Structure 1
């Protein structure tokens, strides 16, 4: 009996609750005139937390699909963080390299990327998917791009 393989597309969805909690943490530090923990990642105004939910664990990376409605740039950085109910602070050492960087210039219709980094990052996601049902990402929007102007997904062969 031949095994079935199919493509699946996983869409990055903003985790508004987690983004909000991380912003509250930053605001709290600011109001108390405190410094973050050594190595703690504090979300900047142009950074948001997104997630991927893995419905299958054995995947082969195919490619990214990123649509930018306006010119600008989005940087997708994976985290090794396992979020817990107490919302453990995100530490910079938990950010994965390389990030996938996508951009669109004013005169372009297509989105560009650093293909080698995007490929390596996609393959790393397959490794992490073997042990995870959910993975979190920091998306950084720059040069005029905002979350409402971006759609990101990643395709795998299952």
Structure 2
């Protein structure tokens, strides 16, 4: 197989923050706090250290290959997929819509900066495969990314590599 054909079959998709959806979810939390109301049973509210990210799928027939993740400092990042179509302007995010397993990457404070990030490889493999399965029926998929133990969004680069089938 020539190199040009091999490159055209590999797709690298970057997770991008959806600032509008993140802000809308933050407004829901703020509204509940101001009015003194409680969340609905089963509703999942956005935590202060979380943001909504998205993947846009240019193709629906994908096979998961590899995660590409970098964090320029120490900390922990968890990625939780949202399994259903969700429109926060019309419906609230419910806990039952969250995928298992979640993805977790981290670097400890004592680790040198050039140390590869740690992750739970079996969970990350399964998570990547679930994303590829959902891509068969989706053009877009949403994720909650939580930044913990000193991790910051500005220090994060996250992408997932797929093979596109023709």
TM-score (norm 1): 0.94
Match of residue 95, structure 2, among 92, 96, 107:
92
Match of residue 147, structure 2, among 111, 122, 141:
141
> Which residue is equivalent to 2:64?
61
> Which residue is equivalent to 1:44?
47
Between stretches 143-152 and 99-108, larger displacement belongs to 99-108
CA shift for structure 1 position 85:
7.3
> Which residue is equivalent to 1:153?
159
> Which residue is equivalent to 2:108?
105
For the aligned residue pairs, the C-alpha RMSD in angstroms reads 1.2
Q: Is the 8 A contact 1:81 1:90 kept in 2?
A: no
TM-score (norm 2): 0.90
Unmatched 5+ residue regions in structure 1? none
Between stretches 108-117 and 68-77, larger displacement belongs to 108-117
Unmatched 5+ residue regions in structure 2? none
> Which residue is equivalent to 1:24?
27
Moved segments of 4+, more than 2 Å:
83-87
